[in-house]
Structure 1
Amino acid sequence: MSRFARTLCSLQGGAFLWLAYCAVQSARNGATWEVWLFAAASLLPVIAMFREYELADERRAVAVRAERLARLRVHAEEINTACCERWWTSLATDHDPTCPNQTRRSAA
């Protein structure tokens, strides 16, 4: 979760606490309709906080998926640029006689 999202969640938590406090004070003063209004309004910051956490999890999942795809692309490129069967089995130390990438040793 980013620093901005954490700050936003803490502000939303503060708004929840303030609205809940207003609901309690309204109940102590006997204003019934205000209690319900403040109680309903205090749920909105809680819903927004859960939404921020869900968005952070989704962003993290997208980043992980993108990283995995990048790794798969790199491995696919390595496999596609591979030479011959002997090159693979000899851990890139020898080539087939018919391989165009076979390195010739000089006579020197």
Structure 2
Amino acid sequence: MSLPSRLLCALYSLTSLWLAWYSVRQYQYGGSAWSVPLFAVASIVPVIAVVRESVLADEHRTIAVLRRQKGRCTTNRDELCEAIACAELNAACCERWWTSRATDHDPTCPHQRRSNAA
């Protein structure tokens, strides 16, 4: 994780702690009925941001390792993008599904819904 990411995570953690502390203080001193749950829920949002930052750092580390293993440099991004696009298109449904805006399938498509009308 880079230094700016670590600083951002520290800021998120401090914000989360402050919001949780403020929620407890509101509860102790009889704050309004909406403020206690609002600050309690708001204290969870920075925790989600810390998790997101760590996932992004893991992805960046994985991409760097893959590039080193495959000998890819940053100028070969087109090949990487093309490989991702091909994988997504191969995982997609039939051609008729694409051209009919997801309203119809090819007769041989495994995703085709069968009619119950007999």
User: Scaled by the length of structure 2, what TM-score is found?
Assistant: 0.58
The superposition leaves residues 46-67 of structure 1 with CA deviations (integer Å, 9 ceiling, x where unpaired) of 0000000000000000000000
Hey, what does 2:67 align to over in structure 1?
66
Hey, what does 1:15 align to over in structure 2?
15
Unaligned runs of 5+ in 2: 73-118
Separation of aligned partners in 1, 2:30 and 2:37? 12
Alignment root-mean-square deviation, CA: 1.1
Matches within 5 A, 1:38-77: 38-70=39-71
Matches within 5 A, 1:18-37: 18-31=18-31, 32-37=33-38
* Larger proportion of helix: 1
Give the drift of 1:30: 1.6
Larger Rg: 1
Unaligned runs of 5+ in 1: 72-108
For residue 71 of structure 2, give the secondary structure of its aligned residue in structure 1: helix
Q: State, as a whole percentage, how many aligned pairs show the same letter.
A: 46
Hey, what does 2:80 align to over in structure 1?
none
Separation of aligned partners in 1, 2:21 and 2:34? 15
Separation of aligned partners in 2, 1:9 and 1:63? 22
Task: Tell me the amino acid that sits aligned with residue 37 of structure 1.
Answer: L
Separation of aligned partners in 1, 2:30 and 2:54? 36
Task: Tell me the amino acid that sits aligned with residue 19 of structure 2.
Answer: L
For residue 30 of structure 1, give the secondary structure of its aligned residue in structure 2: coil
Task: Tell me the amino acid that sits aligned with residue 69 of structure 2.
Answer: R
User: Scaled by the length of structure 1, what TM-score is found?
Assistant: 0.63
Separation of aligned partners in 2, 1:46 and 1:14? 10
Give the drift of 1:39: 0.5
